[in-house]
Structure 1
Amino acid sequence: MGFTVSLLMDELAFAGDAAVRGEGTLAVLAGSGVALVAAAILVSLLARRERGREHRRDTGGRPPPPPRPARPPRNTRSRCWRRSRSSA
């Protein structure tokens, strides 16, 4: 609603000068674009903060466990060799 009213006020205030009216329209559009980007950044930051709160609430305030290291592949040949040597 504010966007439309701003454009209407621009039309009425600068009806006699087309160049100033065009600058006013451009200023209203630029201001709306800046407000859109600022709102998107703010919502993104608040959502990230809320997701962190939910995680802390779900885990009881504990940090998540560290990732487990990958296990090296098993060497089955050496196991069999040890068994056969120990049983002999």
Structure 2
Amino acid sequence: MSLDPGASARRTLERARDTVQRIHQAAIRHRDPSLHELADQISQIALTLGHDAGAVQDWRPCPVCGAQPGSNCIRQPGHEMVNGMHPERTRL
């Protein structure tokens, strides 16, 4: 038994983040945007419950420039970038 009462909750949250990331990866593999939408819905529910959804830009393509997960955003005329990414990529 762990002496840290939050350890179990952190493991569960990490498992949930991993699951959402696997859904996003399946969306990319199968080219199915509806899977991205479902994973986003799960992340939004987690946020409403007070849980951090994690770094969503790591597992989704950019809606502005089309950069794939793991790739940096590409500058586009008329679109600002924040910390090297289009803000639209990081929003749920």
Q: Give yes or no for TM over 0.5.
A: no
Larger radius of gyration: 1
TM-score, structure 2 as length reference: 0.30
TM-score, structure 1 as length reference: 0.32
* Structure with the largest fraction of helix: 1
